[in-house]
Structure 1
Amino acid sequence: MVSDSRPRRWRRLFIVLGSLVALLALAIGGGVTLVYVNADVSTVGRAEFSNELAIPPLASSRVRSDGTREFELDMRSGRTEFRPGQATETWGFNGTYLGPTLRARRGEKVAVTVRNQLPEASTVHWHGMHVPAAMDGGPHQMVQAGATWTPQWTVDQPAATLWYHPHPHGATEQHVRRGLAGMFLLDDDVSETLPLPKNYGVDDLPVIVQDVKFSGAELDSSHAIFRDVGFLGNQTMVNGTLTPYRNVGDELIRLRLLNASTARSYPFGFADERQFSLIATDGGLLERPAALDRLQLSPGERAEIVVRVRPGERTVLRSNKLAAGLDFWGQRFAGGDDTFDILELRAAETLRPSPQLPAALARPSTPDGSDSVQERRFDINLAGINGKPMAMDRIDLTVTRGTAETWIVHNNDGMPHNFHIHDVRFRVLARNDSPPPTELTGPKDTVFLPPNATVELAMRFDGPADPDTPYMYHCHLL
C-alpha cells in the first residue's frame, strides 16, 4: 500500500511560508526600529563655531524726484563656498546666496525693480507687508525668466522685521531652499525714538536661520523617509554661514530672528538657560518687553529679542527639543527630537554700556475682536484647507474692505502646520480656548499649530480692494 504524502508536504510548505513571513516581519520591524533610532539629529556640543557670521548688507537705494525710494533686486544663480574648497550651486538676490536687507520707513513710497535672471519663472513675495494684492508677489504675479517686475506701494504699517522670498505655486520650497530670501526692515517714529539697540550689524543683528543638508558639495533637497512634514536638514546655518560666531561689543544685543527654513520649527533658547527680552513679533513691537527663556518659531515667523552679555563671555543660541504635543511617531519624524547649536556670541573684554530697555514699547495696533463683523472657521490638514487643495483659479472667500473679522483655525491633522495670511497682521485672541501665551501677544502674520490645536485670530481688512487679484492664506510649511 502507498501512503499519500501531500498533507505532510502542505504542512511543510505552510511552515516554510510562515517562517518567511515571520522573518520578513522581523526584518521590516528591525528596519523601522533602526530608522527610528537614527532619525534624530543633534549638533549640540559638536559645533566648532569656526566661521565669522556674515551680515547681509543693507541694500542700496535711490530716491526719485517724487520721493519714491527705489531698490533693485536681481534673482541670480551662482556658486557659493559654504565650506572651504567646495563650491555649491545656489540662487540669491544681487549675489549667489540670500539677498541684501531692504530698509524703509513708514510713510515712504517704495518701488522695487525685480529682474529674473534665473533659468525658470519665480516671484518675490513681501512676507508680512501690507501691500496691494497686485504687488504682493504671490503665485499670481509670476516673473518669467528674463523678465522684469516693478511693484510699488506706500509703506503703511508699524516698524517690524519682515522678509521677502519666492512664492511660485508648487516650487516655493525649492526656490527658498536654494537661497532666495532676505530681510525687509521697517522703521517708524516709535521705533526710532525708543532706546533699543539699533546699530545694524553691530548691536542689532539679522539672524536668518536655515537647516541644510549636503550631498558632496551640493545641497541635498531629498525628504527623508517618514518625514511627511517636509525637508529637514541635519545642520543649520545663519545668514548663509555654517557654525557661525559673532564678536559683540555692547551689553545688550538685539537679535532679529527669522525662521527661513521650509519645514523645521526652532524652539530657541540659550545653552546656559539665560533669560532674554522679547520685544517684537512678526508684525512689530509688543506693548512691553517680555522676559522669556524659550521662544518657538515655525517657518516664516520672526521675533526680535534682546539678550544681555557679560564681558569676555561666550554664549550659544540653541534650538531645543520641540514641545508641541506631537505623538511618539511625529515627535521623532517631524524633527521634534532634533537639537542644534546655532550661533555663538563672543563678548569683548570691555563692553559699551547699553541703556536699559524701556518699560513700554508700542500701543496695540491689531483688532481685539470686539468689532468683528464675521467669524470664519478653517480646518487644516495635509489635503488642504476646509477640504480643498490650492487652486490658482479659485476664489475661496470675499471680505468687505474696512471690516474686521475673527478667524478660527484648527489643525485636525496628526502633523504640525502653521497658518499665514498675506497683507494683514492679526492678534491671537486665544489658543485652545485659553488666553495666548506671552510669545503670541504681539502682532502676528504667521502662527504655529500643533496637531489638534485651535487658534482664534482677529484681523482687519483695509484694502486696497482688487477685483482681479486675490490675496492668499496658507500653511507656511513649504
Structure 2
Amino acid sequence: MSRLKRALVALAALAVAFVLTLGGGALWLYSDAEVSTAGAVFTRELAVPPLAESRVDSDGTRVFDLTMQAGETEFRTGMKTPTWGFNGDHLGPTLRAKRGEKVGVRIRNTLGEESTVHWHGMHLPARMDGGPHQMVAPGGTWTPRWTVDQPAATLWYHPHPHGSTEKHVQRGLAGMFLLDDATSARLPLPKKYGVDDLPVVVQDVRFDGEKFDHGHRFMANSGFLGDRTMVNGTLDPYKEVGDELVRLRLLNASTARVYHFGFSDDRRFSLVGTDGGLLEKAVAMDRVQLSPGERAEIVVRMEPGERTVLRSHPQKNYGDFWQTRFNGGDDTFDVLELRAAKSLRPSPPVPATLGELELPDGSDSARTRFFGLRMSGINGRPMAMDRIDETVTRGTAETWTVRNEDGVPHNFHVHDVQFRVLAVDGRRPPPELRGAKDTAFVPGGTTVKLAMRFTGPADPDTPYMYHCHLLAHEDRGMMGQFVVVEKGQRAGTVRTAPSHAGH
C-alpha cells in the first residue's frame, strides 16, 4: 500500500507539473501574441511614390509603362533586403487618370516567374482585369486598354496569380491608381499630391536578418502578421506638412492585418472618401477600420508646430476571444508621424456636400445571392480556374448576402463593381461602409448585405473574381468566379489562356 501511495503521489505531482507547464505555456502564448509599437521614434522622412509618366497616343489613349522587376531595398541602414517592385526595387509609381479618358498600361515582366497586374476597384472589361486568367510570363508583355468610366477615387494595383498572390504582394508589387473627375476638381479639398494630399500605403512587415520574414504567426489563421509597419516602403516615417488641412489617402496594402486607424491624441478627422470615391457628406469621426484592400480618404486639421501620430488602435470585432488575440485584434501600431511647420498655409474648410453616390440601393435588385465564407472555400467550394460559379445579366442590379460562417476573420472583394453596403447584421453600416465600396470586412459570425449593378461589357467566357482579400485565404481557395452576359445568354466555357509572352 505504501508503494501504491507513493506511486499515486508521484503521478499526482507529475499531473500538477504538467498542468502548470501547460498553463505557463498558454500564458506565455497569450502574452506574446500582443504586438505594440506605441511610442515609436520616427526617424525617416516619408517617401512619396512618384507620379507615373505617361504619353498620349494618336488615338488619345494615355499610356503608362510598368516593369515588374527584382531588386534590393535598404529599409534599415546598412542592410539590403531582396524586394520586387514596379519601375524600381520596391512598390510602384502612382498612376493618375481622369474620368472619360482612354488609358493603356504596357506591362513588362522581368521577374523569374509569371505574375499579373490587377486594377483593384477599377470598372473595366474582364479581359483587362488582370486576374489569374491574364498572366504575364517571364520576359512577356501585356497591354490592357480601357476607358475610365467611374467617379474620382483612390484605387490601387497589385498582382493576382492564383496561389501566389500573398507572396507577390509581400515582396513589394503594389501601387496606387488615382482617378479624377470634374466634381473632385471643383471641390476645395486638399489636392496637391505629396504636399497636402498624401498617399499612405500601409503594410506590416517582419525581418529575419536582411530578408523579409513572410512566415505566419504561431496560432494565427488569418495569414501573415508582421511586428511593425511601414508606409510607402518607409520604416518609422514622419512627414513635415505646411498646410492647415492634410488629406491622407489610406490604403491597407497588408496581406492579412486589419487596421483601426485614428490618432494618438484621439483627435477627430473628416472621412471624405471610401474605396470607390467621395462620400455624399463628410463624416466627423476618430476611428476608421480598414481590412486588406480597403481604402479611406480622411482630412485632418493641424496646428502650427504640433505633432500627431497616425495610430492603429486595438479592435474587438474579430469574433471570439481567440481570433481577437491571435489574429491581431489586440495589436497597436504607431504608423506615421505628422509634423506641422511653425507657420501653416490656410486651408478652406471641408465642404459640407461632396458628391452623389452612383450606386443601387437594393430596391431594384433583380436577384439575391448568398455567399458563405469558410477557410475551405466559398459556399463550400474551393476555387477552380475552369468553373464559372455565378452568371449575372448585364445592366441588372443584385443583392448579395455574405456571411462569415467559420469565425476566422475574412473580408469580401468583388472585381469590376462598386457596391453599397445595405446592412451589417441587419443594422445600418458604420460611416466607413456607407460610401462606394469594393471590399468589406466580414468578422466572425457577421452578415453583410451588398447591392451592386453590373454594367458590362458582357463576356460569357472571361470571368471576374470575388474572394476573401486576406491573401493567404485567397491563395488557399477562398475565391469564386462570375461572368457578365446579355439577357438570355448563357455562360460560356472558361479556357485558361497561356501567359502573355508578347504584345
TM range (shorter): over 0.9
Match of 2:206 among 213, 228, 252: 213
Distance in 2 between residues matched to 1:317 and 1:463, nearest whole Å: 39
1:65 corresponding residue in structure 2: 58
Match of 1:362 among 344, 355, 360: 355
Match of 1:328 among 303, 321, 325: 321
Distance in 1 between residues matched to 2:441 and 2:60, nearest whole Å: 39
User: Does 1:444 pair with 2:431?
Assistant: no
Identity over the aligned pairs, expressed in percent? 68
What SS class does the counterpart of residue 399 from structure 1 fall into?
strand
What SS class does the counterpart of residue 255 from structure 2 fall into?
coil
Match of 2:252 among 252, 259, 264: 259
Distance in 1 between residues matched to 2:367 and 2:34, nearest whole Å: 44
CA-CA distance at 1:29 after TM superposition: 3.1
Distance in 2 between residues matched to 1:415 and 1:381, nearest whole Å: 8
1:4 corresponding residue in structure 2: none
TM-score computed with the length of structure 2 as normaliser = 0.91
CA-CA distance at 1:357 after TM superposition: 1.3
2:111 corresponding residue in structure 1: 118
1:453 corresponding residue in structure 2: 446
Distance in 1 between residues matched to 2:266 and 2:299, nearest whole Å: 14
Match of 1:475 among 468, 474, 480: 468
2:34 corresponding residue in structure 1: 40
Which ranges of structure 1 fall in alignment gaps of 5 or more residues? 1-6
Query: Which aligned runs of 4 or more in structure 1 are off by greater than 3 angstroms?
Result: 7-26
1:100 corresponding residue in structure 2: 93
The letter of the residue matching 2:34 is D
* Structure-2 change in CA distance of 1:112 and 1:325 (3 Å): closer
CA-CA distance at 1:25 after TM superposition: 4.0
Alignment of 1:343-362 (within 5 A): 343-362=336-355
User: Does 1:180 pair with 2:181?
Assistant: no
Identify which range, 270-279 or 20-29, moves more after superposition: 20-29
Alignment of 1:242-391 (within 5 A): 242-324=235-317, 326-391=319-384
* Structure-2 change in CA distance of 1:461 and 1:26 (3 Å): same
CA deviation string 1:102-151 (max 9, x = no partner)? 00001111110111111111110000000111110111111111111111
CA-CA distance at 1:32 after TM superposition: 2.3
Distance in 2 between residues matched to 1:195 and 1:328, nearest whole Å: 44
What SS class does the counterpart of residue 356 from structure 1 fall into?
coil
The structure number with the bigger radius of gyration is 1
RMSD between aligned residues: 1.4
Distance in 1 between residues matched to 2:412 and 2:419, nearest whole Å: 11
1:131 corresponding residue in structure 2: 124
2:20 corresponding residue in structure 1: 26
Distance in 2 between residues matched to 1:285 and 1:416, nearest whole Å: 27
Contact 2:272 2:283 in 1 (8 A): yes
Distance in 1 between residues matched to 2:106 and 2:427, nearest whole Å: 45
CA-CA distance at 1:217 after TM superposition: 1.2
What SS class does the counterpart of residue 439 from structure 1 fall into?
helix
Distance in 2 between residues matched to 1:76 and 1:290, nearest whole Å: 40
CA-CA distance at 1:20 after TM superposition: 4.4
What SS class does the counterpart of residue 138 from structure 1 fall into?
coil
2:489 corresponding residue in structure 1: none
Distance in 2 between residues matched to 1:332 and 1:264, nearest whole Å: 13
CA deviation string 1:239-268 (max 9, x = no partner)? 000010000000100000000000001000
What SS class does the counterpart of residue 467 from structure 1 fall into?
coil
The letter of the residue matching 1:36 is Y
1:191 corresponding residue in structure 2: 184
Distance in 2 between residues matched to 1:150 and 1:20, nearest whole Å: 68
In the comparison of the two structures, how many residue pairs are matched? Answer: 471
Contact 2:125 2:146 in 1 (8 A): yes
The letter of the residue matching 1:92 is G
The letter of the residue matching 2:35 is V
1:392 corresponding residue in structure 2: 385
User: Does 1:165 pair with 2:158?
Assistant: yes
Distance in 2 between residues matched to 1:125 and 1:15, nearest whole Å: 65
CA-CA distance at 1:71 after TM superposition: 0.4
CA deviation string 1:188-238 (max 9, x = no partner)? 110111111000000000000000000111100111110111100000000
1:149 corresponding residue in structure 2: 142
What SS class does the counterpart of residue 178 from structure 2 fall into?
strand
Contact 2:318 2:409 in 1 (8 A): no
* Structure-2 change in CA distance of 1:10 and 1:266 (3 Å): same
